[in-house]
Each structure stands twice: as C-alpha cells, then as structure tokens.
Chain A
C-alpha cells in the first residue's frame, strides 16, 4: 500500500471533483472518537489511584466487559492476573511514580471467559499546569505472538545455560581426574636424605592436559639415593602412559643396578621395545646417584644424561656452572643408545639443579618471540648461589610467575643441596 501526502495530486483523480484532502476527510470522518474506540491497541485512562476513568472498545472487547461495569468501578490492577498485580505493585507502580512513565512491561490481562491475554503495557503520567500528576494514560498491546516468541527464547536460553552448566561440570570432573592422575606420576613426598636438602617444583602448562615432565628421589641401598628428572615427548594421555612406564622402569632398574648408565640403558631398551613401528616415543632424562659422606658432610654426585639439558651446580662461593653431559642420546629411539656421565661433589652450601626445557624455552620479551635460554638461567642462578635449595626454588617459581603466558610447556625443577651449616639440614642428619 502506498501512502500519499495531502499536497500531492492523485494523477488518476485529477479530473474528478473531489480533491485528495476531501477524500481523506470523508474516509477519516469522526476519526478521533473512532480511532480511540477501535484502535488496534487498548487505551485506558486512570486516576492516580488506579481507578479506571476511560477505556476504549478494543480493550473492553479483550476483557469481555461492558463499560459500565468497568469505568469508575475497577482499578487497572483489577484487570490483571494476581501475579501481574504483584508485579505491578512491586515494580510497575513505583517506576511510574518515580519516572512518570514506564514502557513495554509484559503483563497478563484476565478475560471474562477465564482466559488470559499476554499484553505489553506502557503508561505515562499526565501532569497539570503546575506539575501535579493528574492521571495515567496507558496503552495495551496484544503480545500473544511476541510472548510466545520470548518464551521460546527463554526456553532456548535456559537450555543453553543448562548445557553450559553440564559442560562446566564435566570439565571440572575431567580436571579433577587429570590432577589425580598427574599426582600419581609424581612422588607425593620426597624421602629425607641425610645431609641433603631437596626442593621440587612442578608446573603444568595446562589444567586440561596431563604434563609430560617427571622427577623422583628414592633410596637404593643403605648409603645411596637415586634421583631423576626428565621430559617425555608429547602431552596428554599417551605422554602420561609413557611417563608412567619411564618412572617405574627407572625405579625398578635402579634397584637392580643403580649405575646411572646401566639404568638409562634399561630404560632405553624398555621404551624402544614398547614404542616401535610408527609410534616412536622417547624421553630425555638425567639420572643420578647421591652418596653422602657422613664424615666430611660432602655429597658425591654421579649422574648420566640422555638428551637432557645439562644440570647446573651453584657453589657456595658464588660460582655457577653447567655440569655438561654432551652427546647423550634421547632415550627410546635407538636400540643401543650412548649416555654420557658426569660427576661432582657438593660441599656445604652447594646445590645441584635439574630442570626441564619448559624453563629455558619460556617465551620472553614484549612480543613473546625470544626464548629465555640456558645462559640467562645460569646468570639468574648465579645471583642465588650459596642459598639453600628451598630459597633457590622460591626464586625460580618467582621467575616462572614472571613468564606469565610465555610458559608453553610443563616445567619440573629439582634442587639438591648440602646445607651450609650441617645442623640446619633436613632429615636424619648424622652430622646433627
């Protein structure tokens, strides 16, 4: 349908007597009253106390009542369902009082036949010349279709919220399961080693994935303790299975023959045999023995490494150096791998640090493109040489915190040190 304004002549009627204005006037005769009574929406005027003063035919049709039973006899709230009345009194009326208008509130109107009509109500307060409120003008729109649509939206929203709740619960359960599994791959506590203080830190890069780093410390005979720290390839359940195999193989092998190279060879054979064909899996690891000398308070360290970043030794006098193990092969790839050994002795105040490459390969810099690197780690630790292992570990966790989202990989740290003053040592300290 086209709408024309009164000033534009209608070409088809140009030769007729009636002008367009007259045509409209004829069509619209008596329009004010007619429009009010038969408007496509309900009209209602009430006194400030809600008493209905005027109501149009449309609204009377909807509620199924005669004007004489409504005007002066009913209040607006009488037209509403009880729940709508409560909503009106607790929300609508206060808002109207305070703002002078309320728009588009969804209410239900009671119909004479017992039915109810969903409507959208807008009310405006008409004020007198001195600003005093005189009456309330209200329009009422049939909102059946709209309400049905909104209810559909609400249903969909509730379904989505329920789905989200379930998904979050599932995720929480998964994280719990992963955390338990992760813990099972790491020792819950480290045994006391005479004359040695140990500190560890493990940081998983993601709560949704099992990490692939591992460490352990355990006695092998009356005098010696074995330790290891490593990193399996990959993440997730497959990596966890590999970690489990690695950890228990190392522990068992060490009890049979604690020699570091022999132990790593056993691990290499086990992994190579298990992960053959198109699913080669491997790990890098440092395995070593601690042999405390009760007489001197020193601890002899004898270790072997396969493909793993070199350990660092922090001396009481401030020297901080790598304990290089060049040429050691990653474990599990070749049927017969070569491993490289190194030895050192830790005196009072000295600490040996093992770490995984999650630390040295943390992305740094503004744009997170640089890597932290071995030399930066050595320099950082040089500032903490002479400190006891737990203090060194605190410094390192602070360093990790500082990397923020630059930490992509899991990180395991194991520090083994000889207390500067033997009396301060942990465990069954024969010197103490």
Chain B
C-alpha cells in the first residue's frame, strides 16, 4: 500500500534538518498548520499528513473497525513514520493528535524522539473520580448531531472531490471549505474515538522529552486538563499561551511557534 498517498503525506523544509511531524486534530486537516510550517522550514524537515478519513486522505482506506479507537490513528502515524523511515522525529500533535502521538511513541519508540502536545486532553468527559474533562456524555452526542446537521453542507463541498469531479469549475467555490469538511460518517467515527477516549493511563508511559502547550481560554481543553497532562508526564514542560480557543497555532501563531521552536532548539 502507498502510505504516502493514503495519508496525503507532504514533506517540506530543510532535508538536512531534524524531522518534525505535524499532526492535525479532529475537525480539519494538515492545512491547520499553515501558519506553523513557515517557522520550521528553515531548520527542519517538516512532515505533514492527513489521517485516513480526513482532508485529502484516501477515503477508501477507511474502515470503521480500524478507526473506531485512537489506536487506528496511532497506526497511521507509525506507518507514515515507517514509510519515510523516520528516526527520533519530533511529533507535534494538536488536540486529540497529542494523545495519538503518545500512543504512537509507545508503539514505535525508535521513530518518535520527542512530543509537542498542543491543547491536549486525555479525557474529555468528566469522571466520577473528580477528574474534570469539561464535557458530559450527552455533550458528545450533541456533537454527533452537529456533524449530522452539517451533512448537507458536506455533501455539496466534499462529494465532488470524492467522485473525482473536482475539475468542475462551478464547484470551485464550495471546495474552499473542503479541508474542514469530512465525510460525516467518518467524522462521526473519529469524533466518537476522540471524545470517548480515556488515555490518562497512557501518559505515564511517555519516556521522551515532552512539551505541553495550553491556552488561557480553551472551550475544549480547559486549563486543569493541561495541568493534569503536565503532572502525569514525568519531566514534561508546560507552556500556557496567551491565546483563546482551541487552536493557538491559528489564533496566536507567533507565540505558538516560539514555544515550539524553543523546545526544538533545546533538544539538540
């Protein structure tokens, strides 16, 4: 199987530099990193990809069985690393990808040498034991409804890409939304895998240098979750970005890039 095609792998930057893998979270695709890439390309080889079921990945490779849990996405990461024969790469994961990176580093320790976790959450749903993830089970069900509600918008924007009619110019305008439009059935599986996961125990097994980035105001990963991740990973560093929302790499790119490049410089 052609993994690079399946996961729409893009390699850019300095081929002689250390490799940084940028992994998008639930919702969009590798375009999420477009304000981050320019800060890295001079000194690093930068690898971007889309998880199967997202962006311009090969949607035919999607099976519910594989992608119903985060392990399936972690295998995507490992297979991309193997396809490019990466060693000791720095894995930068946004949101759920931060946890996918933890799982991937556990599966293939030789491939991933450090982790940057952008707005991570090992558990989105509140727990009886006092853990506050910020959401209830019902909230997650509501998200699935939201995905379904935007189904028609998806059909208009995404279906032409899948059917290979993307060259029809009348559809061009709608296609601008395509990088955040996913097949709702696949998005539903990814959403379920993401928001029902509980990876808190996996954090303890992290053995590589780790940077945790959180935002001051994040509706998805509140600060107590950032503190939890930081406390659970031995030796990790925590940086609180003066940013709101769940996507600091888009809303506060300079501060985010500074934190990432500072961490990368410290690894050498």
Q: Which residues of B contact A154 (CB under 8 A)?
A: 148, 151
Q: Which of A48, A87, A89, A93 contacts B150 (CB 8 A)?
A: A87
Give the contact-size bracket for chain B.
Answer: 35 or more
Q: Which secondary structure characterizes the binding site on chain B? A: helix
Query: Do A107 and B146 form a contact, CB below 8 Å, given A83-B140, A94-B28, A94-B32?
Result: yes
Q: Which residues of B contact A106 (CB under 8 A)?
A: 146, 149-150, 153
Q: When the two chains form their complex, are residues A86 and B135 in contact, meaning their CB atoms are under 8 A apart?
A: yes
Query: Do A90 and B177 form a contact, CB below 8 Å, given A83-B140, A83-B143, A83-B146?
Result: no
Query: Do A97 and B251 form a contact, CB below 8 Å, given A82-B142, A84-B146, A89-B245?
Result: yes
Q: Which residues of B contact A50 (CB under 8 A)?
A: 244-245
Instruction: Give a binary string over A69-102; 1 marks a CB under 8 Å from any B CB, 0 the rest.
Output: 0000001010001111111111101110111001
Q: Which residues of B contact A89 (CB under 8 A)?
A: 27, 219-220, 245-247
Q: Does A190 contact B (CB under 8 A)?
A: no
Identity of the chain A residue whose Cβ is nearest the Cβ of B218 in the assembled complex: A89
* Chain B contacts with A in 238-268, Cβ cutoff 8 A: 244-247, 250-251
Q: Does A402 contact B (CB under 8 A)?
A: no
Q: Which of A83, A99, A102 contacts B139 (CB 8 A)?
A: A83
Query: Do A83 and B26 form a contact, CB below 8 Å, given A48-B251, A94-B250?
Result: no
Q: Does A153 contact B (CB under 8 A)?
A: yes
Q: When the two chains form their complex, are residues A86 and B143 in contact, meaning their CB atoms are under 8 A apart?
A: yes
Q: Which residues of B contact A85 (CB under 8 A)?
A: 219-220
Query: Do A86 and B195 form a contact, CB below 8 Å, given A49-B244, A77-B219, A91-B180?
Result: yes
Query: Do A94 and B150 form a contact, CB below 8 Å, given A83-B140, A83-B144, A86-B220?
Result: no
Give the contact-size bracket for chain A.
Answer: 20 to 34
* Chain A contacts with B in 104-152, Cβ cutoff 8 A: 104-108, 118, 147, 150
Q: Which of B147, B153, B180 contacts A104 (CB 8 A)?
A: B153
Q: When the two chains form their complex, are residues B177 and A99 in contact, meaning their CB atoms are under 8 A apart?
A: yes
Query: Do A91 and B27 form a contact, CB below 8 Å, given A83-B140, A83-B141, A98-B250?
Result: yes
Bound-state CA distance A50–B215 (Å) is 14
Q: Which residues of B contact A82 (CB under 8 A)?
A: 135-136, 138-139, 142-143
Q: When the two chains form their complex, are residues B149 and A150 in contact, meaning their CB atoms are under 8 A apart?
A: yes
* Chain B contacts with A in 23-79, Cβ cutoff 8 A: 25-28, 31-32, 34
Q: Does B145 contact A (CB under 8 A)?
A: yes
Bound-state CA distance A86–B143 (Å) is 6
Bound-state CA distance A118–B149 (Å) is 10
Identity of the chain A residue whose Cβ is nearest the Cβ of B135 in the assembled complex: A82
Smallest distance from the beta carbon of B245 to chain A beta carbons, Å? 6
Q: Which residues of B contact A147 (CB under 8 A)?
A: 149
Q: Which residues of A contact B25 (CB under 8 A)?
A: 90
Q: Which residues of A contact B146 (CB under 8 A)?
A: 83-84, 86-87, 106-108
Bound-state CA distance A118–B150 (Å) is 12
Q: Which residues of B contact A102 (CB under 8 A)?
A: 177
Q: Which residues of B contact A107 (CB under 8 A)?
A: 146, 149
Identity of the chain B residue whose Cβ is nearest the Cβ of A77 in the assembled complex: B219
Q: When the two chains form their complex, are residues A150 and B195 in contact, meaning their CB atoms are under 8 A apart?
A: no
Bound-state CA distance A82–B176 (Å) is 27
Smallest distance from the beta carbon of B40 to chain A beta carbons, Å? 18
Q: Does B207 contact A (CB under 8 A)?
A: no
Instruction: Give a binary string over A153-185; 1 marks a CB under 8 Å from any B CB, 0 the rest.
Output: 110000000000000000000000000000000
Q: When the two chains form their complex, are residues B28 and A90 in contact, meaning their CB atoms are under 8 A apart?
A: yes
Identity of the chain B residue whose Cβ is nearest the Cβ of A153 in the assembled complex: B152
Bound-state CA distance A358–B16 (Å) is 64
Q: Which residues of A contact B177 (CB under 8 A)?
A: 95, 99, 102
Q: Which residues of B contact A108 (CB under 8 A)?
A: 142, 146
Smallest distance from the beta carbon of A216 to chain B beta carbons, Å? 43
Q: When the two chains form their complex, are residues A91 and B143 in contact, meaning their CB atoms are under 8 A apart?
A: no
Q: Does B217 contact A (CB under 8 A)?
A: yes
